[in-house]
């Protein structure tokens, strides 16, 4: 009997076709939606391509994911929610004037996503969206997400430094973290969020590309250094599509600063009332955090011991062009060649099942038919597919750990 891995992609994207959000809007927004949708033009090429229906077509998506060896997925948003100029992942925190319509749009997305996940029960963990303009409304949305089976949790909204509302480390958001902790709702931070407005200049996109990852990393040290995990020890944070090689250095930096911070000064800097922690910063990584390294690169796999195999999840980033589909089996063979089988199984599916609540035994039955073969993964990959675009296939540079 051929042994196969059970693969759960902890980073996929989905959303409704624009008009399909309409039935999920409250009736008072329908006329405004019709006027807005009639003149809307998508800023994203992948949403106007002939294959854009991979975001919402249940049959096509299931067929393509199974052909790629994936039995279940964690779903981040991808398409444009009603009343947004861009997708929810990269939209800036709305102005007070825009907030009511944007909130209605995100709630329509959440309703659509909950219904769409029900079309394939047990195999989709949808991530709901919230906004921080009104903390009470955000708390209400957390409870709605928990009540309606969006087991992927919540996506941190974009909160750049120029958003005009309190920063992420402000205690004003504690009711949101409390609701997430009490309801077991995971907080997810995806790359592309939290960047400031760069304006319309020739270098704007270049600067965004250079800095987006750094801004996406900020939730890690924000949650740790602001004491959020001390106040809400049951809270869980997942960092997605940001790689993982940066995490050890970030933890080491926090550990090096913290004893001086706790003492009240760093050099000439004096802290009137420093944020004191119950543990060293790096300890919160093991107790409260995990990373979806998405198309995990071979180099990061080799260095996984620095952050712990049990904290790492693999993702295909389907349906994005930079993702591993339709060559996920090849990417997995390249990344995990020769590694211990139990650790590979954990990173490919076991960790995601534990963190997001998938029934692994149930998924094993399908994986026994379509999952990547254990022996082929161990043997590695002889040649990269010539048309593969994912960064998972870039050459390895690590020679030792």
User: What DSSP line would sit under 130-198, residue for residue?
Assistant: --SSSHHHHHHHHHHHHHTT-TTEEEPPP--TTSSS--TTSGGGHHHHHHHHHHTPPEEEETT-S----
In the predicted structure, residue 170 carries a pLDDT above the cut 70: yes
pLDDT tens per residue, range 6-23: 999 999 999 999 999 999
Over residues 178-193, the mean pLDDT reads: 92
Helix axis angle, 135-147 to 99-117, nearest 10°: 10
* Low-confidence winner among 88-97, 195-204, 263-272, 316-325 (lowest mean pLDDT): 88-97
Dist. CA 181–CA 170, nearest whole Å: 17
Q: Average per-residue pLDDT in the chain? A: 93
What is the share, in percent, of the chain residues with pLDDT greater than 90? 76
Please give the helix or strand (H or E) that residue 125 lies within, else none: strand 124-129
pLDDT tens per residue, range 280-335: 999 999 999 999 988 899 999 999 999 999 999 999 999 988 899 999 999 999 99
| CA of residue 270 relative to chain centroid, distance | 36
pLDDT tens per residue, range 339-363: 999 999 999 999 999 999 999 999 9
Do the Cβ atoms of 239 and 220 come closer than 8 Å?
yes
Place of tokens 């963190």: 355
Q: How confident is residue 152, by pLDDT bands cut at 50, 70 and 90?
A: very high
Taking the CA atoms of 24, 28, 31 and 37 in sequence, report the sign of the dihedral they define.
negative
Q: How confident is residue 125, by pLDDT bands cut at 50, 70 and 90?
A: very high
| All structural domains of the chain | 8-393 (3.20.20.140)
Residue 160: HSE in the Cβ half-sphere, 13 Å Cα cutoff: 22
């Amino acid at each position: 009997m051929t042994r196969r891995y059970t693969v759960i992609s902890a980073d996929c994207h989905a959303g409704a076709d624009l008009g399909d959000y309409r039935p999920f809007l409250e009736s008072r927004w329908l006329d405004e939606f019709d006027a807005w949708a009639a003149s809307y033009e998508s800023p994203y090429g992948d949403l106007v391509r002939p294959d854009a229906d991979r975001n919402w077509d249940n049959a096509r998506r299931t067929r393509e994911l199974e052909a790629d060896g994936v039995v279940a997925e964690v779903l981040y948003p991808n398409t444009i929610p009603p009343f947004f100029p861009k997708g929810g992942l990269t939209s800036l925190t709305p102005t007070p004037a825009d907030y009511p319509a944007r909130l209605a749009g995100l709630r329509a997305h959440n309703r659509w996503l909950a219904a769409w996940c029900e079309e394939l029960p047990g195999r989709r963990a949808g991530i709901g969206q919230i906004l921080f303009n009104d903390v009470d409304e955000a708390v209400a949305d957390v409870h709605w997400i928990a009540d309606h089976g969006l087991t992927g949790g919540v996506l941190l909204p974009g909160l750049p430094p120029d958003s005009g509302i309190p920063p992420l480390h402000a205690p004003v958001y504690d009711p949101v973290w409390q609701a997430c902790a009490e309801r077991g709702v995971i907080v997810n931070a995806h790359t592309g969020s939290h960047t400031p407005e760069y304006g319309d200049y020739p270098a704007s996109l270049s600067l965004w590309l250079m800095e987006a990852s750094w801004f996406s990393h900020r939730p890690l040290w924000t949650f740790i250094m602001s004491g959020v995990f001390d106040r809400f020890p049951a809270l869980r944070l997942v960092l997605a599509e940001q790689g993982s090689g940066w995490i050890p250095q970030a933890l080491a930096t926090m550990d090096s600063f913290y004893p001086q911070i706790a003492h009240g000064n760093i050099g000439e800097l004096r802290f009137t009332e420093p944020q004191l922690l119950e543990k060293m910063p790096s300890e919160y990584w093991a107790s409260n955090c995990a990373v979806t390294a998405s198309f995990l690169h071979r180099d990061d796999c080799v260095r996984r011991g620095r952050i712990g195999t049990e904290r790492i999840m693999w993702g295909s980033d389907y349906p994005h062009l930079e993702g591993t589909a339709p060559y996920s089996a090849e990417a997995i063979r390249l990344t995990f060649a020769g590694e211990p089988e139990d650790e590979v199984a954990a990173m490919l599916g076991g960790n995601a099942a534990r963190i997001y609540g998938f029934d692994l035994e149930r998924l094993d039955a399908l994986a026994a038919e379509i999952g990547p073969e254990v022996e082929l993964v161990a043997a590695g990959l002889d040649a990269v597919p010539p048309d593969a675009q994912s960064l998972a296939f870039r050459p390895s540079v690590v020679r030792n750990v």
